[in-house]
Structure 1
Amino acid sequence: MLLTGSELASYLTKRIVEESKGKQNPQFSTSGYGEFIFVAQNIKKPEAKEESKEKSGEITRDNAAAIIEMEKGGRIVIEFYPQDAPNTVDNFIKLAKKGFYDGLTFHRVVPKFVVQGGDPNGNGTGGPGYTIKAEFNSRKHLTGTVATARRANTTDSNGSQFYICLEPQPGLDGQYTIFGQVIEGMDVVRSIKVGDVMKKVTIVDKNTLKKDKQ
């Protein structure tokens, strides 16, 4: 005899009630358990409604932006390219949230080329204690492009150091991981001198920012 889930529940309920009254019904005897075959129906469990992290207000690589507050005043706002360099964006966000960049300097400034910072040693030799692989992409080095610095002898040596282009640099295209773009504060970037300190780097929801026209 085949029983659906609801029919089985009805049978068992009736059996319990009758046995509690001392009325043993042969149809619901203990030996009768073997006579029933439960038919599992394809009943979908209600799926938990998972609200996206972005909608819930949590900052992720997809809706994040970075604000670099300079000790001498002014701020630089960076928008990320998570589709082009997801691991690099994640790494920068992780380091910033840990406060890694707070108090570090821009140790390299080359006029009409780049400004470079993010080295705890302050001389271009340091990093976070690990490296990540390069994520070369089709993005171009434009004014305000943000990309990772690396050692000359290996492409997979990205760490915490990054540079910002002062002017377009097509000669760098395809050789470094571009992971963001300055959307506010290029005047601050152009004013940077060697040794200028990043007071604090904060990760924020980019949807709360207004892009400056550059």
Structure 2
Amino acid sequence: MHFKRLGLPLIVLAGLVGVPAASLAAEPDNTMVISLKDGDVTIALRPDLAPKHVEQIKTLVREGAYNNVAFHRVIDGFMAQTGDVEFGDLEDGYSAERSGTGGSQLPDIPAEFSEEHFVRGTVGMARAQNPDSANSQFFIMFAPNPGLDGQYTIVGTVESGMEAVDKIKKGDPAANGLVNGPDRMIKVRIVGDGN
């Protein structure tokens, strides 16, 4: 079914058997673009792995909730975390002290752990101690980290723009990656919405 929508000839499909779903381009409705100061980052969202998490992210994107939200925690060689729409909006209600502790007006989401691995470019949902506490915050991996496998929900994979992710301002290693004067997601959109 997925291949038919792509319009690929059957002979090509035979060569794709066993190719992980993440390596195939996402449909426009599941493609998120984050505009950063150094360029756009295109993310293939993975409703096949985490349908509830992906739906919540798409709802927040469509509300404009992620626009101007800080990368409040960025650890070199590990990950860049963002998505606190409650306290992280650099143009409306930003709090350096509270950024990273908030969520959204939507309810928390039960964990949707998978067998996928946290590698460079993986997008995962941040959460508190409770596995069912993810809400709006997410992180993009700079490097593999097998310790996160099966412990955090994977919601997507960076398809292009990792060079822009690599340039996100890093935080203080002594302060668990807290960023002073953080970079932001300038604008976030879903490709299928045409905006």
TM-score normalized with structure 2 length: 0.71
Query: What is the Cα deviation at residue 62 of structure 1?
Result: 8.1
Task: Please give the residue correspondences for 1:57-68 in structure 2 after superposition, counting only pairs within 5 Å.
Answer: 63-68=29-34
Is the contact between residue 105 and residue 196 of structure 1 (CA under 8 Å) also seen in structure 2?
A: yes
Question: Which consecutive residues of structure 2, in runs of 5 or more, have no partner in the other structure?
Answer: 7-25, 89-98, 170-178
* Matches of 2:46 and 2:61, distance apart in 1: 16
Aligned-residue CA RMSD (Å): 2.3
Which residue of structure 2 aligns with residue 212 of structure 1? none
Selected match of 1:93 from 58, 63, 66: 58
Which residue of structure 2 aligns with residue 69 of structure 1? 35
Which residue of structure 2 aligns with residue 180 of structure 1? 156
Query: What is the Cα deviation at residue 125 of structure 1?
Result: 0.3
Is the contact between residue 29 and residue 190 of structure 2 (CA under 8 Å) also seen in structure 1?
A: no
Query: What is the Cα deviation at residue 61 of structure 1?
Result: 8.0
* Matches of 1:81 and 1:190, distance apart in 2: 22
Which residue of structure 2 aligns with residue 40 of structure 1? none
Which residue of structure 2 aligns with residue 102 of structure 1? 67
* Matches of 1:171 and 1:203, distance apart in 2: 30
1:143 counterpart = 2:87: no
Which residue of structure 2 aligns with residue 204 of structure 1? 191
Identity %: 43
Is the contact between residue 62 and residue 82 of structure 1 (CA under 8 Å) also seen in structure 2?
A: no
Secondary structure in 1 matching 2:143: coil
Is the contact between residue 61 and residue 86 of structure 1 (CA under 8 Å) also seen in structure 2?
A: no
* Matches of 1:136 and 1:175, distance apart in 2: 7
* Matches of 2:72 and 2:104, distance apart in 1: 16
Query: What is the Cα deviation at residue 63 of structure 1?
Result: 4.1
* Matches of 1:63 and 1:196, distance apart in 2: 26
Is the contact between residue 61 and residue 89 of structure 1 (CA under 8 Å) also seen in structure 2?
A: no
Task: Please give the residue correspondences for 1:149-168 in structure 2 after superposition, counting only pairs within 5 Å.
Answer: 149-152=126-129, 154-168=130-144
Higher relative contact order (CA 8 A, sep 6+): 2
* Matches of 1:125 and 1:184, distance apart in 2: 29
Secondary structure in 1 matching 2:147: helix
Query: What is the Cα deviation at residue 81 of structure 1?
Result: 1.2
**Structure 1 consecutive aligned stretches of length 4 or more whose deviation exceeds 2 Å:** 60-63
Query: What is the Cα deviation at residue 135 of structure 1?
Result: 0.3
Question: Which consecutive residues of structure 1, in runs of 5 or more, have no partner in the other structure?
Answer: 1-53, 209-214
Query: What is the Cα deviation at residue 132 of structure 1?
Result: 1.0
TM-score normalized with structure 1 length: 0.65
Distance verdict in 2 for CA 1:160–1:196, change over 3 Å:
same
Secondary structure in 2 matching 1:189: helix
Query: What is the Cα deviation at residue 73 of structure 1?
Result: 3.4
Query: What is the Cα deviation at residue 64 of structure 1?
Result: 1.6
Secondary structure in 1 matching 2:38: coil
Query: What is the Cα deviation at residue 197 of structure 1?
Result: 1.2
* Matches of 2:184 and 2:100, distance apart in 1: 15
Is the contact between residue 61 and residue 90 of structure 1 (CA under 8 Å) also seen in structure 2?
A: no
Computing the radius of gyration over CA atoms, which structure comes out larger, 1 or 2? 1
Query: What is the Cα deviation at residue 205 of structure 1?
Result: 3.5
